[in-house]
Chain A
Amino acid sequence: MRRKLSHNDTIPIREAVPLFFSSLKRICQINRKYVLFSFLYSICGIIPVLLNAFAVSVFNQRIIKGLGEYAHYWQAYYPLLVTFAIMVIYGIWGSVSVYFDEKYRNKITSYLLRDSSSKAAAIDLASFDDPEFFNLIQKGWSEDGAMLVDNANVTLETIMDVTGFIGYVSLLSYIDWKVTLVFIALRVCLYPVNNWIYRLGYRLNNRLAEERRREQCFRNFFSTKGNVAEGRVFDLFDYAQDNYQASHRKIYKATFLHKIKTNSVDLLAYALRSLPLAVGYIYFSICVYKGTVSLANMAMYVALYDGFINQVYNAINGLSSIRGYAERSRYAREFQTIKPGIHTEEDPLKDKVPDLSEGHTVEFRDVSFRYPGTEKNVLEKVSFVVRGNETVSIIGANGAGKTTLICLLMRLYDPTEGTILLDGKDLRDYSAESLYGMFGVLFQDYCNYAVSARESITLSTEAVREPITLSTEAAREDRLAYALKASTADKFVGMLKNGIDTPLARDFDPDGAELSVGQKQRIALARAYYKKAQVLILDEPSASIDPQAEAEIYEAVHQQRGKKGIWLITHRLSSCVQSDQILLFQDGKLIGNGTHSQLFNGNAEYKRMFLLQAQKYGVTQCGI
């Protein structure tokens, strides 16, 4: 899975173009109408500009000739009115097109965002541990949605530029093709210069990306309450400010130097750009003087010059920008093509986990695991068997591999070595989705979402997609009530302003409630209870809750004994006394396995740890 990703330099054109077209194709697949409509509009875009220039030129010509040739002034100015009428029509079309553009663009963007969001969720958890890969995920994910639409726009703009270019060239060549050719040649010379400036900018941005994040971080250091409190007690202000200033100056210096460098090159570009105008004036002056070019045509040439030069520039730059966007779509593409090792999509070929009321047998057979990109095994040859609806406690020091073990059990990672068997079959032979459905979990780093308490508890898809009938509705309410009670969240949820429908954050609703840490944890716990899970996994469920709530939570957990499989990670050894099996870990190795009395009598380490905690509760005699 691990690839070397090196994005420090721009990509060559031959790789950029296919990348670019593949992303364009994706847009076409989503909405063909949008592409077609905008394409038509872009192709016609140049017509009014040229028409206007032409009309003005005719007008100029006629007023210069004046009364000598035309009887009525009307004959001179009617072309202007005609073009105006055409432009109004085109303008109206433009407004309509903006409407469709915005409408479809939003649709496409939201489609893509959803798409890439679920894509991100399907990626192996292991990918999140590899910073390089994580970087790709973040970049690719954020670029994907917004970028594809930009990409389409760039294409359309390029089309517009190319048609514009052709239009200008034909109109100007009508006056004098030689000069036109020379101008184009002069402009083409600038391409390498532009390219160089572009690459320089790209590299600079790459180089400064990290520094920018650092600047941002220190700038907003005191924007949270917690940080202000810590900052004051530990006197962090100068530290943060100095770091901000250092980062800011560093970025500033680099960009300033970059500007000086590019600007001096830009002078050349600028001279090349404005020189033709002066040369054109001189050349045409001579022509007019000799009578080969009319004064009005010269005026038109001059009037068109700026637009023309820009058009040439844009047409050439189209290539550069295609490349630039390909640059960005590279991340998106790589992100799209990440192949997860664990497929979360429903796979009909794979078995579903059967719903067994008597519980499942889980066997770890010589399981070793190390996180991708690291050298050290977090788990080392771990073997044990858990049968039926046993209650399992996992204990051990910080960093002993407890959390990793439950992640492996849920197949959030695959073991590096060894196998995990569920009912005698390899975990990998089950469809991941049905496997995930089997577990209700309270993670140590559980999340809280800025939605109502009800939604926060019931958010799993299984519940959302269930048809709503009277009986399911009632059943759901029952389950919700049960989840609230079992997690002891009912104690405070009932006291919130709008009860269970109160938003749990003030992000989007000023009436939202800010919960304490303990309360947040209980909401997450309720979520685990709400799910129709066969196995309940709790990673330190009582870390920040008070003794009374703790007792209630363990009470609720113990009520599930025998009905569900329960896996409990804890540092409070009192809570594993009643477990059917205790797994004691030390540095990734399983050093003890058995019931409380077995371990207490047979495992010195367990006995020592248990007594250490028990003594403080005044229990010195454990009657063993």
Chain B
Amino acid sequence: MRNFDKRNHFDKRNKKLTYLIKLAFEPGLWFVLFMPVCTILLAQKPVASSWLTAQIFNRLQLAVEGTPDKALLYGAILYAVLIFGLDIAQWLLATASALIENHWRERVNEKLQKMFMQKDYKGNVADHDNPDLVSRRNAAKNVDPVGILKSVISFISTLSASVSFLILLWGFSPVMVFVAVLIKLPTFYFYDKTMKMNRKFKIDSGTLNREKDYFYRIPVSKPNAKEYKIFSMKGYVCDKYDEVMSRYMPFYKSYFTKMAMNNSVLMHYDRIVTIAAEIVIGISVFTGKMLFGEYTLFVAAFNNLAKSVEQIVDFASQFKDLQEQSGLLREYLESRNLYEDGEGCAREVGNVPHVIELADVSFTYPGTDREVLHGLNMTLAAGKTYGLVGLNGSGKSTLVNLLLRLYEPDQGEIRLDGVNIREYNICSYYKAIACVFQNTGKYAMPIKDYVASGRQRDLPRAMAALSQVRLTDWCSGLKHGLDTMLTREFSSEDDSVEPSIGQWQKLSIARAIYKDAPIMILDEPSASLDVDSENEIFHYIRSLAIQKTAILISHRLSNVVDCDHIFVLQEGRLAEEGSHQDLIELGGVYSSLFESQAKYYKTSGAVG
């Protein structure tokens, strides 16, 4: 059994924040250099304006208490003008920096989103089965790297402001510098507690939060609304919502009560420090040792330094969390895949009639311990149509997954033209395969993009594919024809259409036909199709089979009757194989299944 934890999923490296910072550098070096410079400059603004204000007060007090001197007044006015100038300069710098930051942030975000897309796409489908990995991925996606970088930058800004205030305050009294720094250190305890409480609440209530949203969202979609009415689900849903709320509220209550207490302690402590500083410093003015302007500057410097220390403390309490968050991001983005992605392989799928062989293939889904396929041996020759039949859960879709290289067999190998499929370049391999999936994705894109799967759009070919599945009339009935958007997700009713389930199925068949690959896999392509569409589509598939290898899965055994060869799977083993005629004559599983479906058509004869 292959297990998830057997592989070394993540490299543990320590420098987690540097990873993020490296990421931040990518849109351009000058952004990142510009940001701290701006921040440091902006951080000096309070220092400068406190100093300017103090100058005004000093001059005025001298003028009031001493002899009135016009020069003092003009000096005060000049500083007032400077304050205005400083304000405007600060605004300009702040705006410019905000715009640039915005630009940089969007670039980083875009880059990151693309990395996520890449990872989602290249990562193993198997990872979706592992709840642990899924939650890791979700956690990584919830990380806000730009937010983290911003708090790093604001930390730099606080630090630089505190240095300026420190120098300023040192001029008045070195003792007060120590007081300002030391007095705020105890707040670390409260900030740290807040952090922990936040994190704990997030963990404790995460699932409950989603659950509570889930229940009240139920009636807001059409299929749900139908069932809601017919099964009169209101009472149930409301009760369920109340029940989830009653589990959620105790967490929430204790969380916000504690938070309110914590915040109130921090707030009052801050006030005590401010008032104490005013009283202690004020005595110098009271005794006439200091000018009022100097006093305002002194108090401002003390308060600001203390505040900066508090912010630094706050940052320090968050630092671990930031590290952890960027760690999550890095771990996810750099995690290794379960299977090699085969992009480096140079071997191309040759342009020959393809032969697929399964040699002794066994498979267990990663993270589970039930073997789904047991030593399967099959050979599929070129240009033939193969039927794959079996009850639900017999391993048909798993086999398709293995053929599509979404998973790899634990034992044995799958060979294409005599070579293990793992050795082919993945892109070249996928070029050779077209597939109709059982649950086709419902994408919001124009019809032509869907059919041509976004590749260079050959419209006549797309039309031809659509006509094979009898959708021509439907398409030409639409106002925008092939340009019509599928689903009404983004568009108004005029240029979009919501296909029925049967129509989606036809569209996905058309897409496979358009791809025109030498190997074609059809997994329940006709579950929701009407009689004539089904008939025509299978007729078409049979006509294709001359040049292609086709694998057909269907519960309607009438559809596989004409296949060249039929494989009957039973609980992961090949129970029977052969042509329809052979299997009927064999009188085994296949023939009894076939009989159970044919029965009604036969008994109908007796009706007349």
- Decide yes or no whether A11 CB sits under 8 A from chain B: no
Mask: chain B, 584-595; 1 = CB below 8 Å from A; 0 = not: 000000000110
Which residues 197-245 of A have a CB within 8 angstroms of B? Answer: 210, 213-214, 217, 219, 221-241, 243-245
Q: Which residue of A lies closest to B283 (CB)?
A: A73
Flag if B598 contacts A462 (CB, 8 Å). no
Flag if A225 contacts B511 (CB, 8 Å). no
Q: Which residues of A lie under 8 Å from residue B233 when comparing CB positions?
A: 121, 459-461
**Contact segment of B161-169, B176-184, B267-275, B459-467:** B267-275
Grouping DSSP codes into helix (H, G, I), strand (E, B) and loop, the B interface class, with mixed when no group exceeds half, is helix
Flag if A447 contacts B493 (CB, 8 Å). no
Flag if A549 contacts B558 (CB, 8 Å). no
Q: How far is the CA of A239 from the CA of B457 in the complex (A)?
A: 12
Flag if A214 contacts B535 (CB, 8 Å). no
- Decide yes or no whether B335 CB sits under 8 A from chain A: no
Flag if B57 contacts A507 (CB, 8 Å). no
Flag if A612 contacts B232 (CB, 8 Å). no
Q: How far is the CA of A145 from the CA of B490 in the complex (A)?
A: 24
Q: How far is the CA of A378 from the CA of B502 in the complex (A)?
A: 16
Q: Which residues of B lie under 8 Å from residue A219 when comparing CB positions?
A: 113, 116-117
- Decide yes or no whether B334 CB sits under 8 A from chain A: no
Which residues 585-624 of A have a CB within 8 angstroms of B? Answer: 596-597, 600-601, 609-610, 612-614, 616-619, 621-624
Q: Which residue of B lies closest to A121 (CB)?
A: B219
- Decide yes or no whether B64 CB sits under 8 A from chain A: yes
Of the candidates A228, A439, A542, the one whose C-beta lies within 8 Å of that of B125 is A228
- Decide yes or no whether B84 CB sits under 8 A from chain A: yes
**Contact segment of B7-15, B147-155, B208-216:** B208-216
Flag if B492 contacts A577 (CB, 8 Å). no
Q: Which residue of A lies closest to B228 (CB)?
A: A121
Flag if A278 contacts B80 (CB, 8 Å). yes
Known A-B contacts A288-B64, A397-B532, A617-B601; the reply to A516 vs B393 at CB < 8 A is: yes
- Decide yes or no whether A480 CB sits under 8 A from chain B: no
Q: Which of A62, A574, A616 has the most CB of B within 10 A?
A: A616
Flag if A289 contacts B60 (CB, 8 Å). yes
- Decide yes or no whether B222 CB sits under 8 A from chain A: yes
Q: Which of A225, A432, A601 has the most CB of B within 10 A?
A: A225
Known A-B contacts A114-B216, A302-B53; the reply to A131 vs B558 at CB < 8 A is: no
- Shortest distance from the beta carbon of A291 to any chain B beta carbon, whole Å: 7
- Decide yes or no whether A471 CB sits under 8 A from chain B: no
Q: How far is the CA of A298 from the CA of B493 in the complex (A)?
A: 64
Flag if B531 contacts A213 (CB, 8 Å). no
Of the candidates A244, A270, A544, A619, the one whose C-beta lies within 8 Å of that of B91 is A270
Mask: chain A, 71-100; 1 = CB below 8 Å from B; 0 = not: 001001100110010011001101100110
Flag if A110 contacts B60 (CB, 8 Å). no
Flag if B406 contacts A67 (CB, 8 Å). no
- Decide yes or no whether A271 CB sits under 8 A from chain B: yes
- Shortest distance from the beta carbon of B405 to any chain A beta carbon, whole Å: 8
Q: Which residues of B lie under 8 Å from residue A356 when comparing CB positions?
A: none
- Decide yes or no whether B40 CB sits under 8 A from chain A: no
Flag if B232 contacts A259 (CB, 8 Å). no
- Shortest distance from the beta carbon of B85 to any chain A beta carbon, whole Å: 9
Q: How far is the CA of A609 from the CA of B593 in the complex (A)?
A: 22
Q: How far is the CA of A213 from the CA of B435 in the complex (A)?
A: 28
- Decide yes or no whether B408 CB sits under 8 A from chain A: no
Mask: chain A, 275-316; 1 = CB below 8 Å from B; 0 = not: 101100110011011010001101100100000000000000
- Decide yes or no whether B295 CB sits under 8 A from chain A: yes
- Shortest distance from the beta carbon of B494 to any chain A beta carbon, whole Å: 9
Mask: chain A, 41-77; 1 = CB below 8 Å from B; 0 = not: 0000000000000001001101110110010010011
Flag if A571 contacts B515 (CB, 8 Å). no
Mask: chain B, 82-97; 1 = CB below 8 Å from A; 0 = not: 0110011001100100
Mask: chain A, 541-567; 1 = CB below 8 Å from B; 0 = not: 011111111110000000000000000
Flag if A624 contacts B608 (CB, 8 Å). yes
Flag if B558 contacts A239 (CB, 8 Å). no
Q: Which residues of B lie under 8 Å from residue A267 when comparing CB positions?
A: 91-92, 95
- Shortest distance from the beta carbon of A118 to any chain B beta carbon, whole Å: 5
User: Can you offer 10 A-B residue contacts whose CB atoms are under 8 A?
Assistant: A88-B268, A114-B241, A229-B125, A236-B454, A277-B83, A295-B292, A398-B502, A544-B524, A612-B532, A612-B535
- Extra contacts, 5 of them, besides A219-B117, A228-B120 (Cβ < 8 A), are A224-B441, A228-B121, A461-B232, A544-B527, A575-B600
